[in-house]
Amino acid sequence: MRPACHLSIFDGSMLPRMASPTSGGEREKLVSKLPASLRQALKVRAAQLSTDVQDAVTDGIQAWRAHSEPLPSVDTAGAESFGTWLPEGLYDLFKQDCAARGVSYIQGLAQAVALWLEQNPADDEAAPTRRIIVCNQKGGVGKTAVTAGLAQALAEAPREPAGKTNGAAAAARAAARQGLRVLMVDYDPQGHLSHQLGLKAIPAGRESLITHMLNREQAQTPLIDLTVGIEEARFGDRLRILPAAFDAFLLDSGLTMFRGPRHAALERALAPLEEHFDVIVIDSPPSLGLAMDAAIYYGRRRDGEKPGSSGLVIPVEAEDTSAQAYGMLINQVVSLTGDYDIEVEQLGLVVNKYDSRRGYIATSSLEKWKSLGSPPVLAVIGDLKEQREAVRLQRALLAYSPESDQAHHMREIARRLT
């Protein structure tokens, strides 16, 4: 027998009122619009608090109805479709209150969600944006591939664990689970990360990350406006990149003449972006100069930050020259931490392009990397073809070949860092 169905009007749309797909009594479907930033914040916060999105919206609307003082208007320009379930009858009361307060249903819903976010902070809300610096002074070890793959894995919506069944409960869990908001920063003047994702480096003389590092007072364009979204469905709207700049070739010399604290120039430039992202992953240049000092300093552990949140991820190869380059990088880190009395964590090593057929040098080098213990080896990635194919097609690896071994290794790294 088909369930009883009543008609309801929401901003002019005829909507069915029926039982909710989850337990908890009769509910009615609410379909409206919500700004993307609020929608994302709602899903992330609900996941953090282990709360269903429908319950969060219900609580928000009830708190909004009980709020006696006028609430600030929310910018709803560009709001997109949003749906959830409300207890039966709450929708009609919400409509009446919107009419009494002289606000549209979309504005009322946005205010209710914003109020719920304000009244329900996450336990770790005060924690700073995580900063992951992918670095090695040696070129060709796969820094760019690891930067891109790790960022994609963090932004990708988590999958249902094996053994979970489909249905209403799975749908409710999926609605509350989202990937992280991730920014990739192409800090390497060679611009390989930008190129691999089909973007050109910002031309010399145009505003870029370098402008904001060296001449922020003269910059006219907010740095967030220079970021570009990665348009792949599996990342939603959560993955962006700040493209490389040709001016980055002159960054070390520019920092030499910089009047401010040179080691903090990158942090000073990226600070305004942190509120927009959960994680910032930086593809570093293959150098040990002042630009690298600034990147290492940016990845330091901040006051109040949990251990293992931010720091260095170091791609290496299973051969001797990679070990020598690693030693040089660590010497730079030790010098910097001593000079500025900071703590910089080595989050882990990624042994990249590994092929046991290369014989004793490869196998013995891998064992040496593993024997370090700290930092741990996060993953051992073979010299496989999918990454090269994705680069040729200028697509994200996890979108081009989501079930490849390389893609699973990137997810493994992300899991071990979260």
Q: What is the mean pLDDT of residues 68-84?
A: 87
Instruction: Round the average pLDDT of the chain to a whole number and report it.
Output: 85
Mean pLDDT, residues 230-251 = 92
The correct CATH number of 130-416 out of 3.90.1150.200, 3.40.50.300, 2.60.120.10, 3.40.50.150 is 3.40.50.300
Work out the percent of the chain whose per-residue pLDDT is above 90: 55
Q: What are phi and psi of 33, to 5 degrees?
A: -130, 150
Contact 269, 254 (CB under 8 A): no
CA 209/CA 282 separation, integer angstroms: 12
What pLDDT, on the 0 to 100 scale, is given for residue 356? 80
pLDDT of 185 higher than 70: yes
pLDDT value at 259 more than 80: no
Give 200's DSSP letter: P
Contact between residue 263 and residue 213 where contact means Cβ atoms under 8 Å apart: no
Cβ pair 70, 134 in contact under 8 A = no
Using CA atoms, how far apart are residues 98 and 105, in angstroms rounded to an integer? 6
| Residue 174, pLDDT score | 42
H or E element: which one contains 64?
helix 53-66
Does the pLDDT value for residue 11 go beyond 70?
no
Asked whether the whole model's pTM tops 0.85, one would answer: no
DSSP result, 67-120: --SPPPP---TT-EEEEEEEETTHHHHHHHHHHHHT--HHHHHHHHHHHHHHHS
Of 347, 385, 380, 386, residue with least CA distance to 365: 380
Give the pair of three-digit tokens for residue 293: 């000092």
Q: How many CB atoms lie within 10 A of CB 401?
A: 18
| pLDDT for the residue numbered 159 | 61
Domain boundaries, the chain: 8-119, 130-416
Distance between CA atoms of 357 and 120, rounded to whole angstroms?
A: 55
Neighbours of 341 (CB within 10 A): 6
Q: Cβ distance 399 to 234 under 8 Å?
A: yes
More confidently predicted of 137 and 110: 110
